[in-house]
Amino acid sequence: MGTACASSPVPPPTEVIVAALLDAVEAGYRHFDTAAVYRTEEEVGRAVAEAVEKGLVGSRDEFFITSKVWCADLHVDSVVPALTNTLRVSMKKSPLGFAKEDIVEFDMRGTWAAMEDCFRLGLCKSIGVSNYGPAKLHQLLQHATIPPAVNQVGLFPPCRHRYPCG
């Protein structure tokens, strides 16, 4: 279940989001998709903890939580700290948009190596990518020692992927 509130200038109150997530757990949802930029990591963490506390699930292990490293953190020295912040359920206030001059070259090899470090350190159960086209996946697999467990691709009316692309 997606938890993005980014399209809302003011996200709903924490209690509303947590209650909605608990309703989803009661309905059988176990996969929640979040990201620091969605501004819902804290709420997902609270809902998971409450679901366990209330006996809606047996343990945290019943959940599959997906989060993403924001593009500003796709640097070798930023990946582990970004994931550490996610695991602490701390929030970074950052706008969704960015200026053209803020875009820097993406070090796929170094960033993926840092993601592999997160896995080896036990900070996450699996690592993956988001919205990678066939060419970009092929490029990644040329140097990955741990292949991505998933390529999460968002598809909804305003977001259509046209392949082949990077």
DSSP state of 111: H
Helix (H, G, I), strand (E, B) or coil at 11: coil
Q: Which of 29, 38, 132, 163 does the annotation list as catalytic?
A: 38
Burial letters 113-123, b for 16+ CB under 10 A, else e: bbbeebeeeeb
Helix (H, G, I), strand (E, B) or coil at 141: helix
Whether the Cβ atoms of residue 47 and residue 29 lie closer than 8 Å to each other: no
* 38 catalytic per annotation: yes
Question: Which residues have CB under 8 Å from 11's CB, separation 6+?
Answer: 5, 17, 39, 40
Location of structure tokens 């993406």:
106
Q: Which residues are catalytic?
A: 38
